[in-house]
Amino acid sequence: MTTPEKSPQQPALESATEQASSDAPFMRQIKTYVLRAGRMGSGQVRAFEQFGPKFLIPYSAARLDVQAAFGRSAPLILEIGFGMGDATAKIAHVRPSDNFLCCEVHEPGVGALLKRCGEESIGNIRIVQHDAIEVMDNMLGPDSLDGVHIFFPDPWHKSRHHKRRLIQSPFIQRLAQHIKPGGYLHLATDWQPYSEQMMGVLRAEPLLVNTSDAADGFAAKPDYRPLTKFENRGLKLGHGVWDLVFRRV
């Protein structure tokens, strides 16, 4: 996950026609990640060896026995793209009664979260190093999730790259079908044009309803989502952060 610099330009939301046009290439092959180069440190390498057997779940095109994977039955929260896993680890600590299934393909980030899980004895996290779409479709199935977290996905600032953004109608339509009725979807971004696109996409999805009654539709930051170091620095400089919390109807 990348955290962008801010721009004073705040373009309006795309029209429905423009949105459909930008969604078209995305519909052909939805992916929740872009592979980025990165070198693992020695501690992250050791974490794969030492803690991988306990916290890593190999991808399989078969339904996951979630209760067996976590050793208990509890509400299941899917996190898509956890970066280096700092926020993920903190949320798991403050919500010990929930299970967190976390999808990330960036190997150094997976190693970093494995290290924290092992050293801090975070028993309610499991990691699948694979694309979240295939994990949802093949390992989880419809109406299987109590919540979904997607924090600070790559905003792809340039207009010609907007089609690469994760939060687009085909993805949200597919994702909503995996959330149980009453379950929630929590997005966060520090890039205002992307927040506006996110809001337009989520409002257009008939399976989702906004939990916020604010005029602009954005939610107050839930207590469980910690402020990252970058986010704290940005807020001190006057940069905004936008949270969106919608519920499956």
Query: Quick check: is 215 in a domain?
Result: yes
Q: What is the pLDDT of residue 93?
A: 98
Query: Quick check: is 89 in a domain?
Result: yes
Does the annotation place 216 within a ligand binding site? no
Please determine, for residue 197, whether its predicted confidence score (pLDDT) is greater than 50: yes
The helices-and-strands tally (H runs, E runs) of the chain is 9, 7
Domain assignment of residue 118, given as a range? 16-248
Query: Quick check: is 106 in a domain?
Result: yes
Does the annotation place 131 within a ligand binding site? yes
Q: How many domains does the chain have?
A: 1
pLDDT digits (tens, 9 = 90+) for 3-56: 433 333 333 333 333 443 344 444 445 554 444 445 778 888 899 999 999 999
The answer to whether 195 touches 245, Cβ cutoff 8 Å, is: no
Q: What is the pLDDT of residue 231?
A: 80
Q: What is the pLDDT of residue 149?
A: 98
Query: Quick check: is 242 in a domain?
Result: yes
Chain centroid to CA 246: 14
* pLDDT confidence tier of residue 233, bands split at 50, 70 and 90: confident
- Which residues 6+ apart lie within 8 Å of 237 measured at CB? none
Does the annotation place 90 within a ligand binding site? no
- Cα(57)–Cα(52) distance, rounded to whole angstroms? 8
Q: What is the pLDDT of residue 135?
A: 97
Half-sphere exposure of 235 (CA within 13 A, CB side): 9
- Cα(22)–Cα(239) distance, rounded to whole angstroms? 27
pTM: 0.83
Residues recognised as catalytic: 154
The residue written with tokens 């602009």 in the block is 216
Query: Quick check: is 69 in a domain?
Result: yes
Q: What is the pLDDT of residue 229?
A: 76
First to last CA, the chain: 29
* Single-letter amino acid, residue 236: K
Please determine, for residue 85, whether its predicted confidence score (pLDDT) is greater than 70: yes
* pLDDT confidence tier of residue 218, bands split at 50, 70 and 90: very high
The CATH code of the domain that includes 96 is 3.40.50.150
pLDDT digits (tens, 9 = 90+) for 151-189: 999 998 899 989 999 999 999 999 999 999 999 999 999
Query: Quick check: is 184 in a domain?
Result: yes
Does the annotation place 231 within a ligand binding site? yes
- Cα(34)–Cα(115) distance, rounded to whole angstroms? 23
Query: Quick check: is 1 in a domain?
Result: no
pLDDT digits (tens, 9 = 90+) for 98-129: 999 999 999 999 999 999 999 999 999 999 99
Q: What is the pLDDT of residue 193?
A: 95
Does the annotation place 154 within a ligand binding site? yes
CB-based burial label for 182 (10 Å; 0-12, 13-18, 19+): exposed
Query: Quick check: is 5 in a domain?
Result: no
Q: What is the pLDDT of residue 9?
A: 35
Q: What is the pLDDT of residue 24?
A: 40
Q: What is the pLDDT of residue 4?
A: 39
